Amino acid sequence: MNTMVDDESQSSHSTVDFVSLLDLKPRSVPREKIGFGGCRSVNEFEKLNRIGEGTYGIVYRAKDSKNDQIVALKKVRMDDKSEQDGISVSALREIHLLMTLKHPNIVHLNEVAVGKKLTSIFLVMEYCTQVKCIFIQLLKALVYLHKKHVVHRDLKVSNLLLNDDGCLKVADFGLARTFGEPNGEMTPRVVTLWYRSPELLFGSKEQGPYVDMWASGCILGELLIHRPLLPGKTDFEQINLIIGLLGTPTEKIWKGLNEMPALKDYNLRTQPYNKLKGVFEHQSSSCLQLLNALFTYDPHLRISAQAALNFRYFEEAPLPCDPSMMPSFPQHRNRKRQRKNSS
């Protein structure tokens, strides 16, 4: 691809000077042959949402209309002189490097797309999801906790912290307990309502790793749709939201359901359909399989953290980004925010 760095608007000039992105050497091209060249129009990509902003551009999650592939679309930031002087040296350098560097741990540049103006440049890159990075780290933390016979019992998004290196930290162990002890009954009134598993809502005092796995499913769903998945206000509403999403549980799929304390004087409404696919319509089949495994009604059949880590979902594109690529808040920003809050 060749990109203009000296755009003289005078129509009397017969050629325009360019710098080749392949070798950074100057080229002269007849004005009548200027156009998109080998680059596609950015209009061929559907912007889905904005996912970040760096020093030299804004990044969008987008869908390629040609093959429905999800990509990262970075609009190269231009300064005030771009209209006259062309693309900045820093932008040219980034494009040139990404076109020549090939490594599994370096983001892959698929192609370059252009807007209506020749100075409107978009880098079409592989999309690496932050959601998978966060969730993998959560599952690894749960593998460790559950091997230590510890159940957290209050997993929610607000109890997951990210340090400046993109490393996830599970916090708030105020409700955590060890499990597996004789007569180790626990109160069911734990776990923030939106993340509370059906067995807890139905009054079960037997608790284990499976309550954390249900909560982690709620967290994954929330990360994917950018809002709480099951935001009930009361136990009754929470139960109905779960049934509305997953269908009505039965004794056939959940052995012992009819013996649950809260169901002795309560009849569940009938809703025969699992609607996960409708809520997560843009997710892959392996993602839906993982969500269904996390949202298995019978707690003893619910997937473990170790088994969840082995799901194909984490090995298919888009791959999880490296923790070091996660957004962070530099310490000086944190201090500034703390001073503002204290004043």
Residue list, annotated binding site: 74
Residue 88, helix vs strand vs coil: coil
154 is catalytic: yes
CA angle, 188 as apex, 254 and 227 as ends, to 5°?
80
Q: Which residues does 305 contact at the CB level (< 8 Å), separation at least 6?
A: 139, 140, 142, 143, 146, 209, 212, 213, 216
Residue 133 · residue 320 · CB < 8 Å: yes
Residue 215 · residue 156 · CB < 8 Å: yes
Residue 138 tokens read as 């959560």
Residue 144 tokens read as 């460790």
Please tell me which residue in 154, 235, 265, 322 is annotated as part of the active site.
Answer: 154
Residue 59 · residue 52 · CB < 8 Å: yes
Residues annotated as binding site for ATP?
Answer: 74
Helix axes 209-225, 285-294, angle to 10 degrees: 140
Q: What is the 8-class DSSP label of residue 268?
A: P
Catalogue the E-assigned strands of the chain.
2-6, 15-20, 26-30, 40-41, 45-54, 57-64, 70-76, 109-114, 121-126, 150-151, 160-162, 168-170, 177-178
Helix axes 130-147, 209-225, angle to 10 degrees: 170
Query: Mind telling me the catalytic residues?
Result: 154
